Amino acid sequence: MAWQCNTCGARHDEIPTCFGIEAPWRALVPEADFSRRVQLSADQCVIDDGTFFIRGHVEIPIRDFSEPLAFSVWSSLSEKSFRHICERWTSPLRAADPPYFGWLCSPIGVYPSTLHLALSVQSRAPGLVPLFTVEPSDHPLAIDQLQGITIGRWHEIAHIILHDRSD
């Protein structure tokens, strides 16, 4: 399945295994107030010095394939957890930190509402964003993360997402 990237304009022949979702600030802050109220980096977002988000990956195993399907999404964290994860951001030992509790704050359009699913947020080695594990439930995202998906389902998800982005 060939596709054209809307960001770089290049044509690609391989199906992506990672899809990103924008930081959640737009749901909370008018665009005109962005520079005054939002602190945003590639991996962290703070709104009004009191609402804290971290970017990480929800990874779904793809059966009979070497890589998982990853959704690069955002989780809210308590101020204490956010400050701790930031303090440890460059520590080579951060992967050994206990997981943090968070709430998924990104819509993943190929699943029913994913907003506010409970997450375990596990730091990984520097250079890797945290791994988000959806708490066990009957939500299809939690089931897929636990059981994995077929290569056919991965292709279907990629087709839906790439088609939506090209509209």
Res 8: pLDDT: 62
pLDDT at residue 162, as a whole number: 82
Percentage of the chain exceeding pLDDT 90:
83
Contacts of 165 (CB under 8 A, 6+ apart): 6
Q: Does residue 22 have a pLDDT over 70?
A: yes
What's the rounded mean pLDDT across residues 112-138? 97
Which ranges of 27-138 would DSSP assign to H, the alpha helix? Answer: 34-37, 79-87
* Other Cβ atoms closer than 10 A to 40: 14
Contact 47, 29 (CB under 8 A): yes
The predicted structure's pLDDT at residue 163:
74
pLDDT confidence of residue 5? 63
